[in-house]
Amino acid sequence: MNKHIGATRFLYNLALETKQTAYAGARVNLSRFELQKQLPELKKELPWLKEVNSQSLQYSLACLDTAYKNFFKNNSGFPKYKSKHRRESFGVPQNVAIDEDKLFIPKFKKGIKIILHRELKGEIKQATISKSKTGKFFASILVDNQKELPKKLKITEEKSVGVDLGLKDFLITSEGEVVKNPRHLRNAEAKLKFVQRKYSKYKGKKTKKKLQNLHERVANARMDFLHKTSYKLVSENQTICLEDLNVSGMMKRVKLKKDEKGNYIANGQSAKSGLNKSISDVGWSTFVEMVKYKADWQGKNVLFIGRFDPSSKTCSDCGSINKELALSDREWTCKACDITHDRDHNAAKNIKSFAMNKKNMCVERTLKNHEELPTLVGALTHEAHPIGSAVGE
């Protein structure tokens, strides 16, 4: 399995370099099929590639092709080279079978002993084998159960809920329900720092393994919390209204300046150090993705409001806007109607109100940078650089 992971990573990086070289030199955009035709020649030059399932090698080229398409459709950034220090995996697009406690894939005739997480119902299509930092292997099996997604339920204000995501509390709904932020990384930070300092000093294998286990435990606890919270939210509501948060933008470092009172100021508001770590620990982006696909499974609706809509600064009773509201103000009193609001609960109410008003024209907005978007010129030719040309001397 390690050979499969290394070989597919090598081919992915080699194909990416070849595509970039071909486009820079001859303005030719090589397709995955052009690259696949060159695999037999590459295997003659690198015989160790024959030890790996050829379908997995072809699948890595298909993944690269998908990454390019997503980039040009503004769904993601430009494809990057894969590193063995990040997520390690390989795909098996076909010929996958499970018999009792064994997984059968090409090149593994005796099968691989597994612990089956749940019974598979449907036709097995493909599998993805991944390896964690602690050396554990996992197989994600894609199964076609021949079922269509249910139709979306009718959107009504009575069966809708607004959700405000935060750091003090993980979320608060327009109905007043509060889910506390478990702060998985913060709670384990003291132990992580101790083990990290020990590893930095001695570089021992046991210490490294212990550090990896601690990080894996934190990640597993976070994912477990996000799955349970998103499932409960979708199951109990017919329509979920959320804010389109720019998480990556919120985590960008900003230059802080001191005001007359000695407080740090960023973009006109008080800023606290360590906010980036808290944002990454809470997992907003993953939670929103979970809510979206679980809502599709159950026929529920997910509505988004714009990221610049003043959900926190708007009074949910009279509609007036408090332009002086700072990030540190957890409660505020409306000057127009003299009602005191909890910042997060008020925001959740406004999120629901804004989403209901915009439900006919609410779309997800994704801001992308088009400055480096290349122009597709030329056509496929036989003069394009072969895949073997990217092999280093």
Residue 213 within any structural domain of the chain: yes
Residue 134 within any structural domain of the chain: yes
Residue 115 has a pLDDT of 93
- Provide the domain count of the chain: 2
What tens digit of pLDDT does each residue of 307-341 get?
888 888 889 888 888 888 887 888 888 888 888 88
Residue 364 within any structural domain of the chain: no
Q: Is residue 227 predicted with pLDDT exceeding 80?
A: yes
Least confident range from 88-97, 250-259, 359-368, 377-386: namely: 377-386
Residue 3 has a pLDDT of 95
Q: Provide the domain limits for residue 53.
A: 2-147+373-390
Structure tokens at 132: 């964690």
What tens digit of pLDDT does each residue of 140-165 get?
999 998 889 999 999 988 899 999 99
Mean pLDDT in residue range 78-100: 92
Q: What are the strands, taking DSSP E only, across 255-362?
A: 257-258, 264-266, 269-270, 301-305, 331-333, 340-342
Q: Are residues 386 and 340 in the same domain?
A: no
Selection from 47, 67, 64 nearest residue 7 by Cα: 47
Residue 253 has a pLDDT of 53
Q: Are residues 20 and 58 in the same domain?
A: yes
Residue 336 within any structural domain of the chain: yes
Rounded to whole angstroms, how far apart are CA atoms 146 and 232? 26
Mean residue pLDDT across the chain: 84
Q: Which residues of 13-40 are buried (b: 16+ CB within 10 A; e: fewer)?
A: bbbbbbbebbbeeeebbbebebbbebbe
C-alpha dist (Å) from residue 101 to 94, 98, 108, 118, 127: 19, 7, 14, 12, 16
Q: Which residues of 253-263 are buried (b: 16+ CB within 10 A; e: fewer)?
A: eeeeeeeeeee
Q: Is residue 128 predicted with pLDDT exceeding 90?
A: yes
Residue 182 has a pLDDT of 93
Residue 261 has a pLDDT of 59
Name the one residue in this structure whose structure tokens are 């999120």: 351
Q: Are residues 141 and 117 in the same domain?
A: yes
Mean pLDDT in residue range 339-345: 89
Q: Are residues 106 and 194 in the same domain?
A: no
Q: Are residues 164 and 142 in the same domain?
A: no
Q: Are residues 132 and 58 in the same domain?
A: yes
Q: Are residues 191 and 335 in the same domain?
A: yes
Name the one residue in this structure whose structure tokens are 């290349």: 374
Residue 364 has a pLDDT of 39
Q: Are residues 44 and 133 in the same domain?
A: yes
Q: Are residues 203 and 348 in the same domain?
A: yes
What tens digit of pLDDT does each residue of 273-287 get?
457 788 888 899 999
Residue 363 within any structural domain of the chain: no
Q: Is residue 376 predicted with pLDDT exceeding 50?
A: no
Q: Are residues 164 and 310 in the same domain?
A: yes
Q: Are residues 113 and 187 in the same domain?
A: no
Q: Are residues 291 and 186 in the same domain?
A: yes
Residue 51 within any structural domain of the chain: yes
pTM as predicted: 0.77
Residue 228 within any structural domain of the chain: yes
Residue 260 has a pLDDT of 59
Residue numbers annotated as active site: 164, 243, 344
Residue 20, C-beta contacts closer than 8 angstroms, at least 6 positions apart = none
Residue 365 within any structural domain of the chain: no
